[in-house]
Structure 1
Amino acid sequence: MSNITLTLLILCFSASLYDASALDSDGVTLLSLLTHWTYVPHIINSTWNASHSVSCSWHGVQCNHAYHVISLNLTDLGIHGQLGPEIGQLYSLKILVLSNNGFSGKVPSELSNCSLLELLDLSNNSFSGQIPFSFGEFRNLSHMSLSSNWLTGVIPDSLFRIPRLEEVNLSKNLLTGTIPANIGVIPQNLGINSSLVKLDITNNKFTGNLPPNLCFLKRLSVLNMGSNQLNGSIPSDLGRCKTLSMLILSENNFTSSLPVFESNANLKYLHISKNKIGGPIPPSLENCTNLAAINMSMNKFTGLIPSALGKLVNLTVLDLSHNNLEGSLPPQLSNCSKMDHFDVGFNSLNGSFPSSMRSWKGITTLILRENNFTGGIPGFFSEFSKLRELQLGGNLIGGSIPPSLGKLKNLFYGLNLSRNELTGVIPLELGYAAGSSTLDVSQQARNEE
């Protein structure tokens, strides 16, 4: 090798060293993260350049005035691979959003070294393993989402010692064990976690009771614990939580009865379906005047449907199906003129459909099946022009089928009049209502027995 060639090689090698050393330390850390990724999108390859002096112009990267990385947002880029422990070297990082990618492996415990982190979103990936206990060391974190991953194990108690934590979403994982006792059990712990406004742990395998005093400091807005294995009774203090707007406890093993609701002004969504809750439906629900959706289906509720529900003028969804309710439909429900979905199927209700409910002009789903309703099919049903499903099967409804039902052109999800005591001929007009839906008028034989 000639001296000239050797000199050129030395110069090229020196130049490459200069380029690497010219890049700031945060940039070097980011490039190190790339080594753990099995697929790197073009937008990253084309902008993350080792020849730059700083990484602030790179895709997804934001810096402060001192050129330190404070935000890394790589959502929806299709990245695959692991999140390396080097992430903990971004000491000025405040925002980390890696949602909707293909990250796998463990969530690195070194993340807790990012002591300034305020927002952490790792949702919709394939992270596995346990939630790092070290996350309790965060002091500025206010929002965290680890939902839709493959995380296992218990929720570490340390997570709820984060002083500024407002929202945590752990839904759609494989987490097990009981809910940590330090969420809302005694005021001392709640004082540490005074900013909690949303708790979402849906689609896991949590067991045990629902902790009381979750709304002790009256900031809780969303409580979503659906699709777990929780049991016991629903704490009475939730009925006094005036800040609560969404309460979802569906698909658990809750027993006993519902709490009394005391002027719970902000509650809009109450979903407690698929539990073992019994007793009467509390008339105190009338105090929740902003309620838009109630789903109490598949429980053990007994007694009458409270006429007080007629005071919920903002109600659009009422599902009381698969319970042990009896009596007639209260005519006061006609005040709920915004009703869109009404389902009381599979109960022991009786009487006829109140004529006052013709005020439900916008209703799309009306399910009265498998009860003991009597009388005839109301002619004003033909005024429900937006109706997409009408289920009247399995009752004691008699008389003839109104030809006016043929005006219902949008019954895409079925017209079921079967197993009643209907008489007369099937109107030709009914064919116009059926469209592509299911039309069932079979087994009209009760009155012939």
Structure 2
Amino acid sequence: MSPVGPTTLVMLLLSLVSLAASCTEQETSSLLQFISELSRDGGLSISWGNASDCCEWEGIACSSDGTTVTDVSLSSRSLQGPISPSLGNLTGLLRLNLSNNMLSGGLPLELLSSKSILVLDVSFNQLDGNMDDLASLAPRQPLQVLNISSNLFTGQFTSTTWKAMVNLVTLNASNNSFTGQIPTHFCNISPSFAVLEVSYNQLSSTVPKGLGNCSALRVLKAGHNNLRGSLPDELFSATSLEHLSFPNNYLNGVLDGSPIMNLRNLATLDLGGNNLAGSIPDSIGQLKELEELRLFNNFSGEISKVNFSTLHNLEILDLLDNSFTGTVPESIYSCRNLIALRLCGNNLLHGQLSPRIRNLKSLTFLSIGYNNFTNITNTLQILASCKNLTVLLIGSNFINETMPDDDSIDDISNNSLTGEIPTAIMLASEKTAAHFDPRIFDLPVYNNPSRQYRIHTVPKMLDLSSNKLTGVIPSDIGQVTSLLSLNISFNNLTGPIPPSICNLANLLVLDLSNNNITGEVPAALENLHFLSKFNVSNNDLEGPIPTGGQFGTFQNSSFGGNPKLCGSVLGRPCSSTEVGPVSIVDRKPFGSKVIFAIAFGVFFGVGVLYDQMGASANVEAYAHGSGGGLASPRPVMARRGYGLGRGLRGSCDNTRRLSGGKLGRR
């Protein structure tokens, strides 16, 4: 026999070490048992079959010595079926992530009673049950983070049910169907308890005073429930709070300024969509760490009395739908990091916009509609220098003022503006329109029976309806090829429909009704294949109505009030001498002065409401995919600051929910 060389010996030893340092037979068996019970395993059985050592399997991680499974990370794998209790046999498992799948059934008690699991995330699935079995758990479970959000769980948070969770730091149980009151016993059971998220449930009763005993609590989110009563002073004894949000409940009473001063670390305060009243306490200005302040309620009084000048970290200020009086506080313009400012729907705010708004270099969202502001020319000249502004909503101000001839900004419907449509109407360039800060908006959401989805898309809309505009529709409108909705109804426009509109290949909504438009309906409009709402009623159009493309889907109401129009849809045959419209598409190069711009709309997968255009049913079909071009929905975890709040008045910001005020509910 030949002697064994040193190189061969080393290779042999490494091979033996490799064989020794592998996961155990029990761990392998437990993992295989898990996928065998699934009705759909996302291809894991094939993937795992490529290696004998489970530490080398996709989604599996082991300890540094390669002997113990420590992590199972199988999120977003399209897994279907139940969660096997066999995963509880992984005695060294520290972290289990099965989020964003389609798992169903209950949450195995074996996972919650594990002696090793520190982090358990089963969010965005279809799991159900009331979790009463937790009462039988042995005390002192090691679990620190439990995320069961966006499932179908029911029941209440009782101290007996959750008494074993003595090490719990974070609980996210949002978007389920839990009832009862906000749990407070976690603060007594677990001294390190820091994060409690129970939004989008069916919690009722009042806000418990016991929350004030949560000395380590940093995040408390309980929005979109049925909470009532006033905020107890004891709540503000939880001085570690950084995020406090109770939006969209039934809270009432006043906001006491003295206790709130205790929350010196507060970065987010969201009390919008409740019935709180009175004035905003002056002490708000002492919360110098504030980044987001949302107080759309029934507040009143002189808003200028609130000193915002010390809030240098403030990024979002939302005071929608209150009853403030006076002018916009000059102190707001000291908030140099402000990204979004919404004062819409206060009705009693007046005066002119201050040139100091130019100091807000980061401002991208400004909504001041439904107030009594004046001097639109000055306003637009000031805002023209706000280079980062991508959304401007100023509707229902500037009553009886004349439209300026220079660059203007969209969403200026219902202002009684007069004059011709300017040749350049600019809200934001298409480059910046795609970069909205997601924290600013109520992102679109729709639901299957178990989860929230958010669609990341910003449709473009130009709405000049219900003014007193005269003249013709500029042919340059055809250059804004990304436009999805054009509404210039209820004006005094004359002249023909410019053939250049046929260049707007992505157009979903076209409303030219209730003007004095003449000429024929261009046959080339048949090429707008995504057009789902079309209205030219009550004009002075003539000739045959096109019959191809989407025109076969429009009802006679789209053409009524035009006695010279003919076609089968109106039951008015065209004579043989009448010649159909000629398709002429304006190919004129993009003019240097022309950028029609781009307002915004927020799609819901269950529908979108362009309030003043009545287009919800048709755009709903587009949002479900029939219009083409929308990004596929994808589930996302709830993150801090999403949304300006509930119940956006459609006439105010051109968006509102279609889910009965319960965003994310089933």
TM-score, scaled to structure 1: 0.80
> 2:113·2:141 contact (CA, 8 Å) conserved in 1?
no
- CA distance in 2 between partners of 1:358 and 1:93 (Å): 55
Q: Say whether 1:201 aligns with 2:202.
A: no
Instruction: Tell me: CA distance 1:345–1:194, structure 2 relative to 1, closer, same or farther (3 Å).
Output: same
Q: How does 1:12-411 map to 2 (within 5 A)?
A: 24-47=25-48, 55-64=54-63, 67-134=67-134, 137=138, 139-157=141-159, 158-159=161-162, 161-184=164-187, 190=188, 192-260=189-257, 261-262=260-261, 264-297=263-296, 299-305=297-303, 306-347=305-346, 348-375=348-375, 377-378=377-378, 379-395=381-397, 400-404=402-406, 406=407
> 2:321·2:343 contact (CA, 8 Å) conserved in 1?
yes
Secondary structure, in 3 states, of the residue corresponding to 1:310? coil
Gaps of 5+ in 1: 1-21, 185-189
Secondary structure, in 3 states, of the residue corresponding to 2:34? helix
> 1:203·1:228 contact (CA, 8 Å) conserved in 2?
yes
Instruction: Tell me: CA distance 1:124–1:81, structure 2 relative to 1, closer, same or farther (3 Å).
Output: same
Partner of residue 7, structure 2: none
- CA distance in 2 between partners of 1:286 and 1:433 (Å): 32
Letter in 1 for 2:255: L
Instruction: Tell me: CA distance 1:262–1:432, structure 2 relative to 1, closer, same or farther (3 Å).
Output: closer
- CA distance in 2 between partners of 1:359 and 1:60 (Å): 49
- CA distance in 2 between partners of 1:241 and 1:154 (Å): 23
Letter in 2 for 1:428: P
> 2:96·2:119 contact (CA, 8 Å) conserved in 1?
yes
User: Post-superposition shift, 1:146?
Assistant: 0.5
Deviations 1:153-203 (A, max 9, x none): 22343325511111010111122222335244xxxxx2x311111111111
Secondary structure, in 3 states, of the residue corresponding to 1:133? helix
Instruction: Tell me: CA distance 1:28–1:321, structure 2 relative to 1, closer, same or farther (3 Å).
Output: same
Once the two structures are aligned, what percentage of the paired residues are identical? Answer: 27
User: Post-superposition shift, 1:230?
Assistant: 1.2
Q: Which stretch of the first structure deviates more once superposed, 101-110 or 368-377?
A: 368-377
- CA distance in 2 between partners of 1:263 and 1:181 (Å): 20
User: Post-superposition shift, 1:86?
Assistant: 2.7
Secondary structure, in 3 states, of the residue corresponding to 2:317? strand
Instruction: Tell me: CA distance 1:35–1:442, structure 2 relative to 1, closer, same or farther (3 Å).
Output: closer
> 2:316·2:338 contact (CA, 8 Å) conserved in 1?
yes
Partner of residue 415, structure 1: 411
TM-score, scaled to structure 2: 0.56
User: Post-superposition shift, 1:377?
Assistant: 4.2
- Give the number of aligned pairs: 407
Letter in 1 for 2:48: T
Deviations 1:184-241 (A, max 9, x none): 4xxxxx2x31111111111111111222243535322211111111112223244454
- CA distance in 1 between partners of 2:183 and 2:96 (Å): 25
422, 430, 440: which one pairs with 1:428? Answer: 422
User: Post-superposition shift, 1:258?
Assistant: 2.2
Letter in 1 for 2:333: S
Letter in 2 for 1:27: T
> 2:146·2:171 contact (CA, 8 Å) conserved in 1?
yes
User: Post-superposition shift, 1:419?
Assistant: 3.1
Letter in 1 for 2:394: L
- CA distance in 2 between partners of 1:434 and 1:363 (Å): 13
Deviations 1:274-330 (A, max 9, x none): 111111111111111122221212x11111213312321222221111112222211
Instruction: Tell me: CA distance 1:95–1:417, structure 2 relative to 1, closer, same or farther (3 Å).
Output: closer
- CA distance in 1 between partners of 2:256 and 2:336 (Å): 27
Secondary structure, in 3 states, of the residue corresponding to 1:37? coil
- CA distance in 2 between partners of 1:23 and 1:244 (Å): 44
Secondary structure, in 3 states, of the residue corresponding to 1:178? coil
- CA distance in 1 between partners of 2:282 and 2:73 (Å): 48
Instruction: Tell me: CA distance 1:288–1:141, structure 2 relative to 1, closer, same or farther (3 Å).
Output: same
> 2:199·2:224 contact (CA, 8 Å) conserved in 1?
yes
> 2:213·2:237 contact (CA, 8 Å) conserved in 1?
no
Instruction: Tell me: CA distance 1:366–1:61, structure 2 relative to 1, closer, same or farther (3 Å).
Output: closer
Instruction: Tell me: CA distance 1:23–1:439, structure 2 relative to 1, closer, same or farther (3 Å).
Output: closer
> 1:130·1:154 contact (CA, 8 Å) conserved in 2?
yes
> 1:323·1:346 contact (CA, 8 Å) conserved in 2?
yes
Letter in 2 for 1:33: F
More strand by share: 1
Partner of residue 3, structure 1: none
Secondary structure, in 3 states, of the residue corresponding to 1:308? coil
Q: Which stretch of the first structure deviates more once superposed, 308-317 or 61-70?
A: 61-70
- CA distance in 2 between partners of 1:374 and 1:46 (Å): 66
Letter in 1 for 2:39: T
Letter in 1 for 2:31: L
Secondary structure, in 3 states, of the residue corresponding to 2:87? helix
Letter in 2 for 1:230: L
C-alpha root-mean-square deviation of aligned residues, in Å?
A: 3.0
- CA distance in 2 between partners of 1:266 and 1:216 (Å): 17
Instruction: Tell me: CA distance 1:352–1:174, structure 2 relative to 1, closer, same or farther (3 Å).
Output: same
> 1:179·1:206 contact (CA, 8 Å) conserved in 2?
yes
- CA distance in 2 between partners of 1:214 and 1:161 (Å): 19
Partner of residue 462, structure 2: 438
Q: Which stretch of the first structure deviates more once superposed, 283-292 or 63-72?
A: 63-72
Secondary structure, in 3 states, of the residue corresponding to 2:146? strand
